[in-house]
Amino acid sequence: MISKVMADGTAEYKFIADLKARCENNDKDVTAIVADILKNVKENGDKAVEEYTLKFDGSKVEQPEITNEQLKEYASKSDSKVYESLEKAAVNIRDFHQRQLQQSWLTTKSNGVILGQRVRGLKRVGIYVPGGTAAYPSSVLMNAIPAKIAGVEEIIMVTPPGKDGKPNPDIMAAALVAGVDRVFLMGGAQAVAALAYGTQTVPKVDKIVGPGNIFVATAKKLLFGTVDIDMIAGPSEILIVADKTARADYLAADLMSQAEHDVLASAILLTDSDELANEVNIELKKQSANLKRKDIIEKSLKNYGAIIVCRNINEAVEFANILAPEHLEVCCENPMEYVGKLDNAGSVFLGNYSPEPLGDYFAGPNHVLPTSGTARFFSPLSVDSFIKKSSFIYYTKNALLDAADDIIRIANAEGLTAHANSIIVRKENEVKD
């Protein structure tokens, strides 16, 4: 089901190269289609969105925006136990992200200079939430709660309607729990365009976050600059570092938890135990037989999964840092000893009882994570993702005069004489006075 690679300094790196190639194909047809959709929505607003909703979702929505009363009504159709679990998860998510909140600050110097930074939330943020079979209420919590904590004034959520023109009840429940301000029934690239450009009914936002299919991802990519976005997400990934003390059944279950997302998803196990590698392969076959998304799992593991047998765990850690995975599990005897050694990962899960789904749904850290090796330089979605900062400067007359010659000298060195002149006119004026 999944290939086994014996690390020898060559084979494992060939696997990495093959893995990265899966994300390098640029579908020009999709880009062209999405570009046309964006142009149409920009020019025709609600009319274009309505036409695309009928075309792609097979649904005609008479009133795109859901009222607060309707939101509560739809949310009440969610299973009460699911609603209760969402509320519990929200408590953990709020607690974790509240600790990320930054404060504005100000400092003064003895010469009367005042310097500082003002931190505040964005004015309006759009959240895209898939609907139908790919409905993820957990993503509503992970995107909306940090935005609320950051002080975003208004959160606009878009989600596609079902064939009956109604939304997914679990998504509505999550929106209610997270405190989303307004909800619109629209999906696809057209919904992303509506958020970016604004329409007669949908307000223009400053940033768009949330997962979606290739059309949604492409729309976000093309609109970056018109609005800010969270990140360009690639296929889901999990990498597990495990020694001989790990349980094969746990490891197999965790590998499949990501493989079921997409046939392009990547699930990799790094271990120093050949015996464990063989046991995991047996467990994969055994457990996958009873899973709903068996076909997707098998294709994902066959094409983009691997068990790499390393010469020791230190080599596995080094390899993990090179791969820079979205999710990284450490199933070793003393997992905490590796925390300071694992520099490149979206989120790290330590020990046999911290599986990846714990982070997806409940623990509190954000599950919107960098993929495709971008954990080398990108961070998870956080409160910081929804704030903006401005610095401010106040100099007294004497403080400016003290710095004048240095500023003029640097400006002239750069050939920017108008910059220098801005200081010179003040200096000459004050000398005359």
Give the active site residues.
326-327
- Compute the distance between CA of residue 317 and CA of residue 408 in angstroms, rounded to an integer: 51
Q: How is the beta sheet containing 327-331 ordered, strand by strand?
A: 3-6, 306-309, 266-271, 237-242, 327-331, 347-350
Q: Distances in Å between the alpha carbon of 56 and those of 30, 153, 160, 163?
A: 14, 32, 10, 10
Q: CB of 392 within 8 A of CB of 115?
A: yes
- Compute the distance between CA of residue 238 and CA of residue 267 in angstroms, rounded to an integer: 5
Beta strands 105-108 and 207-209, pairing class = unpaired
> Residue 121: which region, alpha, beta or left (left: phi > 0; alpha: psi -120 to 50)?
beta
- Compute the distance between CA of residue 412 and CA of residue 166 in angstroms, rounded to an integer: 64
- Compute the distance between CA of residue 88 and CA of residue 183 in angstroms, rounded to an integer: 23
Q: Which two tokens stand for residue 266?
A: 């990547």
